[in-house]
């Protein structure tokens, strides 16, 4: 089998590409015309290959979906306008009022907010410590349909018990959804822990350049959807492994309508070509910065799975090619977080992650502000916590920048 980057760079060419174009062209169209009405009908009925309407399908997006399936070693991928749209549409399509699911409590903030909103619609969720498989097992009941986890959580970098939860889901016959955004398919292959469906925010490492939003759900082909009670009869045709992704495509993408724009799909596909190269550099920079900060007298705790004192260091080593490109740290409490951050010259004060540029954010005051001090305290988010999403700049420039700002901090 070809290597990771070879597969990505050549994936468009393996199909017929218009005029031999080396990139899949941007198809800026909503609809597709047919010479014969019978052909239009056959495409709608699925008996003939072809395109119907832009909310469901577009050749540019289809090429990106193929690329992501290859990256994840999955069966089929459906793309959405954002990562949040992917997660929301998937659960909207698969769950019904009265159902229950178990989620890691260490979640991307907006995912946490979304899951609470599902609870308001009669779909119950239990948030548990997913670093502990027993906590997940204890939360399962007779109404539980699936388990949702992230690989490395942000901002505190907890690493879920990915293999053990995969084994538990297999034993209990539950679907297992893994959000692979923080690791990307280059650092981690959820297929290896028996994931049923994989989520990727394409906005982050896969796109990589912070210039396009997108999300994806990939069916891994490892779960028996015949055992899942919520698949409509209409979608129970063909191989059982494709029932859920078909329902997600129809009830999630088509009916909810959060379609990826073809221009964004093109940006993401170009960005994805260098995923492995960028990740190698970003993870090396992250380790160097985390080690530097861990040894600095003006810094408290540093949270990075690549450091030996991280609680899940051994697990991260076992599961991931590298321990990620994001870490967080606590500035010594007597120091002024604002003047320290304002003294950074290379590192940009910004909210995104997975960009080529290194970005820093004061967590409690921004992305965790809405939660209030009590919930922040329960999650171990102190006021001096700074999250760094590490980019591809030269290592020495990043270390010098941190060092200079810390030297001034008082």
Instruction: Return the CA Rg of the chain.
Output: 22
**Distance between CA atoms of residues 184 and 83, nearest Å:** 13
CA-to-CA dists, residue 130 to 86, 137, 161, 343, angstroms = 21, 10, 6, 37
Residue 52, burial from CB neighbour count under 10 angstroms (0-12, 13-18, 19+): middle
Q: Is 76 in the site for ligand PLP (CB under 6 A)?
A: no
The secondary structure element, H or E, covering residue 61 is helix 59-72
Least distance (Å) between residue 275 CB and ligand PLP: 15
State which of residues 24, 67, 156, 204 lies at the interface with ligand PLP (CB under 6 A).
204
Q: Is 282 in the site for ligand PLP (CB under 6 A)?
A: no
State which of residues 8, 61, 84, 402 lies at the interface with ligand PLP (CB under 6 A).
84
Longest dimension (CA), the chain: 75
Least distance (Å) between residue 2 CB and ligand PLP: 28
Residue 111, burial from CB neighbour count under 10 angstroms (0-12, 13-18, 19+): buried
Contact code string over 240-279 relative to ligand PLP, x by CB under 6 A: ----------------------------------------
Least distance (Å) between residue 354 CB and ligand PLP: 8
Q: Is 203 in the site for ligand PLP (CB under 6 A)?
A: yes
State which of residues 185, 208, 215, 362 lies at the interface with ligand PLP (CB under 6 A).
215
Contact code string over 176-195 relative to ligand PLP, x by CB under 6 A: ---x-xx-------------
By beta-carbon proximity to ligand PLP, the closer residue of 68 and 294 is 68
Span near ligand PLP by CB under 6 A; candidates 37-45, 79-87, 127-135, 186-194? 79-87
Alpha-carbon dihedral angle through residues 144, 149, 154, 157, given to the nearest 10 degrees: 120
Span near ligand PLP by CB under 6 A; candidates 20-28, 52-60, 78-86, 257-265? 78-86
Q: Is 201 in the site for ligand PLP (CB under 6 A)?
A: yes
Strand order in the sheet with 359-362: 299-303, 326-331, 385-389, 359-362, 348-349
Closest CA to 27 of 54, 49, 9, 8: 54
Phi, psi (rounded to 5 degrees) for 80: -135, 170
By beta-carbon proximity to ligand PLP, the closer residue of 83 and 262 is 83
SS3 at position 124: strand
Span near ligand PLP by CB under 6 A; candidates 37-45, 62-70, 97-105, 175-183? 175-183
Cβ-contact 204, 266 below 8 angstroms:
no
Q: Is 83 in the site for ligand PLP (CB under 6 A)?
A: yes
State which of residues 61, 147, 213, 379 lies at the interface with ligand PLP (CB under 6 A).
213
**Closest residue to ligand PLP: CB criterion:** 83
State which of residues 92, 101, 106, 108 lies at the interface with ligand PLP (CB under 6 A).
108
Phi, psi (rounded to 5 degrees) for 347: -70, 130
Q: Is 82 in the site for ligand PLP (CB under 6 A)?
A: yes
**Distance between CA atoms of residues 70 and 250, nearest Å:** 22
Phi, psi (rounded to 5 degrees) for 305: -65, -15
Q: Is 283 in the site for ligand PLP (CB under 6 A)?
A: no
Residue 125 DSSP code: E
Least distance (Å) between residue 85 CB and ligand PLP: 7
Closest CA to 108 of 148, 158, 154: 154
By beta-carbon proximity to ligand PLP, the closer residue of 73 and 110 is 110
Span near ligand PLP by CB under 6 A; candidates 80-88, 185-193, 294-302, 397-405? 80-88
Name the residues that contact ligand PLP, by CB under 6 A: 82-84, 108, 111, 150, 154, 179, 181-182, 201, 203-204, 213, 215
């Amino acid at each position: 089998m070809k290597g990771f980057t070879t597969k990505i760079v050549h994936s468009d060419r393996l199909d017929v590409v218009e005029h031999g174009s080396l990139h899949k062209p941007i198809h800026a169209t909503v609809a597709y015309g047919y010479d014969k009405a019978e052909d239009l009908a056959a495409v709608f009925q699925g008996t003939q290959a072809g395109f119907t309407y832009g909310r469901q399908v577009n050749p540019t997006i289809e090429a990106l979906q193929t690329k992501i399936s290859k990256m994840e070693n999955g069966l089929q991928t459906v793309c959405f306008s954002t990562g949040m749209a992917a997660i929301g549409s998937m659960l909207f399509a698969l769950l019904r009022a009265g159902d229950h699911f178990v989620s890691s409590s260490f979640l991307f903030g907006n995912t946490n907010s979304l899951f609470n909103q599902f609870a308001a619609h009669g779909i119950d969720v239990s948030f548990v410590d997913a670093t502990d498989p027993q906590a997940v097992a204890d939360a399962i009941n007779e109404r539980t349909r699936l388990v949702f986890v992230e690989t490395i959580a942000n901002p505190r970098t907890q690493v879920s018990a990915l293999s053990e939860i995969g084994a538990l889901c297999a034993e209990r016959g539950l679907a297992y959804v893994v959000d692979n955004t923080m690791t990307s398919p280059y650092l981690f292959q959820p297929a290896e822990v028996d994931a049923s469906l994989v989520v990727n925010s394409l906005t982050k490492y896969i796109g990589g350049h912070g210039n396009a939003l997108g999300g994806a759900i990939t069916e891994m082909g490892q779960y028996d959807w015949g055992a899942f009670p919520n698949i409509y009869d209409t979608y129970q045709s063909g191989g059982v492994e494709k029932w859920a992704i078909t329902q997600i495509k129809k009830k999630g993408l088509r009916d909810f309508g959060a379609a990826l724009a073809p221009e964004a799909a093109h940006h993401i596909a170009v960005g994805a070509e260098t995923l492995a190269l960028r990740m190698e550099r970003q993870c090396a920079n992250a380790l160097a910065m985390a080690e530097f900060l861990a040894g600095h007298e003006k810094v408290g705790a540093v949270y990075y799975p690549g450091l030996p004192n991280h609680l899940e260091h051994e697990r991260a080593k076992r599961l991931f090619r590298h321990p990620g490109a994001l870490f967080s740290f606590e500035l010594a409490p007597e120091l002024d977080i604002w003047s320290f951050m304002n003294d950074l010259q290379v590192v940009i004060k910004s909210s995104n992650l997975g960009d080529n540029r290194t970005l820093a954010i004061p967590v409690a005051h921004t992305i965790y502000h809405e939660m209030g001090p009590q919930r922040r305290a329960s999650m171990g988010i102190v006021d001096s916590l700074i999250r760094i999403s590490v980019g591809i700049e030269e290592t020495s420039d990043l270390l010098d920048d941190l060092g200079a700002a810390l030297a001034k901090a008082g």
